[in-house]
């Protein structure tokens, strides 16, 4: 049996999240549509930071893969991890940990364009999708993000401040290739692991999207050309 969310339950969810309730006559078509829109927005946001959550990130990533395959325009995916985050929780408690996560989220938003999607995809893990980001500018963008976090003091208990850093790995979507979100994320994660192994507070990007196209992506590209030849 499919569960039904009643309007009063939906309103309670909005109140708990601190979001504004719909305006207008309760029960009217316009009021119900605004309520639905608010719930859709709520379901796509991380409760702690307000960033896109993993679900919204995965949907956006799939759309960007499709756009790159059709248009050939460049796109960069950054995978980020707060360095030594467990030490923050162990030394200062989870409230301080939440403060660090929220501060890093704000720094990421402040470092990129409005068109870029910043998401929290795990506890201390973030990702940024940057459409129309050419390889010539990728490193500068990622370094700007890293420096912005590094220079940001985070206030915690008893007036103390913490300095936190992030490790960043990045991968460009292969242009004109019908790749998959999983392959793109895997390549960005590989660079993130390398950055952490290199000492953390480091940015490492793939040297070129073309040089790291996987066998699976090459097969997809070959099949695309074959289909175009037969049309």
Alpha helices by DSSP H, listed for 72-171, are: 85-92, 94-111, 135-150
Measured between alpha carbons, how far is 47 from 52 in angstroms, rounded to an integer?
A: 9
From the list 21, 41, 124, 223, the catalytic residue is: 124
Instruction: Decide: 169 and 126 in contact? Cβ < 8 Å.
Output: no
* Joined tokens for residue 174: 């292969």
**Selection from 118, 91, 93, 94 nearest residue 104 by Cα:** 118
H or E element that contains 12: helix 7-17
Neighbours of 207 (CB within 10 A): 10
Residue 20: partners with Cβ closer than 8 Å, 6 or more residues away: 14, 38
CA neighbor of 183 nearest in space, from 13, 65, 9: 65
> Among this protein's residues, is 41 annotated catalytic?
no
* Closest residue by Cα to residue 220 from 176, 178, 172: 178
Q: Any idea which residues carry the catalytic annotation?
A: 124
């Amino acid at each position: 049996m499919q569960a039904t969310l009643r309007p009063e339950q939906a309103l309670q969810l909005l109140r708990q999240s601190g979001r504004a309730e719909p305006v207008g006559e309760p029960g009217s078509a316009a009021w119900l549509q605004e309520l639905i829109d608010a719930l859709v927005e709520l379901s796509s946001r991380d409760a702690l930071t307000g960033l896109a959550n993993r679900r919204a990130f995965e949907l956006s990533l799939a759309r960007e893969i499709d756009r790159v395959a059709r248009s050939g325009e460049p796109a960069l995916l950054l995978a980020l991890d707060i360095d030594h985050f467990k030490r923050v929780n162990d030394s200062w408690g989870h409230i301080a940990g939440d403060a660090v996560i929220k501060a890093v989220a704000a720094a990421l938003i402040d470092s990129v364009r409005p068109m870029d999607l910043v998401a929290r995809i795990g506890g201390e893990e973030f990702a940024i999708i940057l459409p129309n980001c050419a390889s010539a500018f990728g490193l500068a963008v990622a370094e700007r993000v890293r420096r912005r976090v590094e220079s940001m003091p985070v206030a915690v208990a008893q007036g103390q401040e913490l300095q936190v850093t992030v490790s960043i790995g990045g991968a460009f979507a292969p242009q004109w290739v019908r790749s998959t979100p999983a392959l793109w994320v895997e390549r960005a994660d590989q660079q993130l692991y390398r950055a952490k192994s290199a000492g953390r507070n480091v940015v490492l990007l793939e040297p070129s999207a073309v040089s790291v196209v996987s066998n699976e992506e090459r097969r997809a590209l070959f099949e695309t050309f074959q289909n175009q030849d037969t049309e």
